[in-house]
Amino acid sequence: MNMTSYMPVRLFTGEGCVKAHPEEFQKLGKRPLIVTGRTSAKVSGALDDVLEALDGAPSVLFDRISQNPLLTDCREAAALALANECDYVIGIGGGSPLDAAKCVAVLAANPGMTQEELYSLKWPNTPLPIVAVGTSAGTGSEVTKVAVITVPGGRKKSMHHVDMFPKAAFGDPAYTLSLSPEFTASTAIDAIAHATESYFSRLANDLSQTYAVKANRLILPVLEKLLSGDVLTLDDRSLLYHGSIYGGLAINITGTCLPHAMGYLLTEDYGIPHGNACAVFLPAFIRINRTNVPDLTDRFFREIGYSDETWLQIVRTLLKDICVTIEEDAIEKAHDRWINNSSIKKGWGNIPAEMCDEILREISKPKI
Ligand SMILES: [Fe+2]
């Protein structure tokens, strides 16, 4: 048995957790830069709660992080932090603002770094302290050291560094009440993808697999309810939120595998939302594992309490309206991405780039 892990975030969850712990903000500095998207931080009530927790302390707001956060926007936010002498960063939102906040914290402490220097992870100065306030149930970014940023040229690039763990993270499920059923489903399946990919990673250990199973067990019944058209209660939202944190804890140990590696392509070039884009590859991922590690696959479905068929049916129901046509030249162009891809290599068995090409052909549906 192996439980090797490291997760230094002070995590608070439950209704009202932000306002209940103002000291977690105040002790980190005098003037935070608050990094958000355009709407969710405000609509959810999270921004108001954070401002209340700051208790009148000066803060600076950067509220222009887009859904797939751009490195250029992170640079702009970091410049704003520098100009205003901000001494810590608060990210409020779903995965995009939280990942952006991590990148901004690095850039603000290391002005003038090139993209290469940023991704080298050899930074002269320690990033500014980070607080993460989640407003969606999917990313798990609250408890990870990962930031996925879209670099000039349009590719999503992830970086991992222990100094990007938030000092504190808050997960109030009430912030997710204002999210649409479609967005809720897409973020929930992102968490399912995190957990499932993590379970089948070669880096998985007893702790990460326990987290992965728990995430599936918490999220799947609520996802079924959501897909049947029911309105989710706050209790349901709480299960989704805590499930997403379990997913984050799982990938904190293992990282993600093939569905995330290939899902980035669908988001970058076809505009498919991140969670759905990864979920498109889950049936193929399960099929590969069923072939390469049948006993582990049996154990997974036994532990989560769902059969292969029911689990796959949930994924397919969620994806029923997703239609993407991938032309042969696009498959050829993407081919090199799958060669020596570290996330794909983390999965069991040999998954050559040609198999990834085939998977793309399989998921491609002609436009009607
Ligand atoms: Fe994800």
CA quadruple 250, 284, 270, 136: dihedral, nearest 10: -30
Which residues make beta-bridge pairs with 61?
A: 34
Question: How far, in Å, from the CA of 191 to the mean position of ligand 1?
Answer: 7
Question: How far, in Å, from the CA of 95 to the mean position of ligand 1?
Answer: 8
Question: How far, in Å, from the CA of 70 to the mean position of ligand 1?
Answer: 16
The answer to whether the beta carbons of residues 2 and 205 sit under 8 Å apart is yes
Alpha helices in the chain (DSSP H): 17-20, 23-26, 40-43, 46-54, 71-83, 95-109, 115-120, 181-199, 206-227, 234-254, 258-270, 274-279, 282-292, 294-304, 308-318, 328-334, 342-345, 353-363
Question: How far, in Å, from the CA of 328 to the mean position of ligand 1?
Answer: 26
pLDDT tens sequence across 251-277: 999 999 999 999 999 999 999 999 999
Domain annotation for the chain: domains and CATH numbers: 10-175 (3.40.50.1970), 180-363 (1.20.1090.10)
Question: How far, in Å, from the CA of 194 to the mean position of ligand 1?
Answer: 6
Residue 367, pLDDT score = 56
pLDDT tens sequence across 75-130: 999 999 999 999 999 999 999 999 999 999 999 999 999 999 999 999 999 999 99
Which whole-number Å values give the CA distances from 15 to 11, 241, 264, 274, in the listed order? 13, 11, 33, 27
Residue 58, pLDDT score = 98
Residues, the chain:
368
Question: How far, in Å, from the CA of 256 to the mean position of ligand 1?
Answer: 8
Question: How far, in Å, from the CA of 276 to the mean position of ligand 1?
Answer: 10
Residue 323, pLDDT score = 87
Question: How far, in Å, from the CA of 12 to the mean position of ligand 1?
Answer: 21
Q: How far apart are CA 158 and CA 194, in angstroms?
A: 15
* Ranges in the chain, pLDDT < 50: none
* Percent of the chain with pLDDT strictly greater than 70: 99
Which whole-number Å values give the CA distances from 146 to 58, 160, 253, in the listed order? 28, 4, 11
Question: How far, in Å, from the CA of 247 to the mean position of ligand 1?
Answer: 9
Question: How far, in Å, from the CA of 255 to the mean position of ligand 1?
Answer: 10
Question: How far, in Å, from the CA of 63 to the mean position of ligand 1?
Answer: 22
Question: How far, in Å, from the CA of 19 to the mean position of ligand 1?
Answer: 28
Q: How far apart are CA 272 and CA 278, in angstroms?
A: 9
Q: How far apart are CA 213 and CA 305, in angstroms?
A: 9
Residue 81, pLDDT score = 98
Question: How far, in Å, from the CA of 260 to the mean position of ligand 1?
Answer: 7
> What is the pLDDT of the chain when averaged over all its residues?
97
Question: How far, in Å, from the CA of 140 to the mean position of ligand 1?
Answer: 8
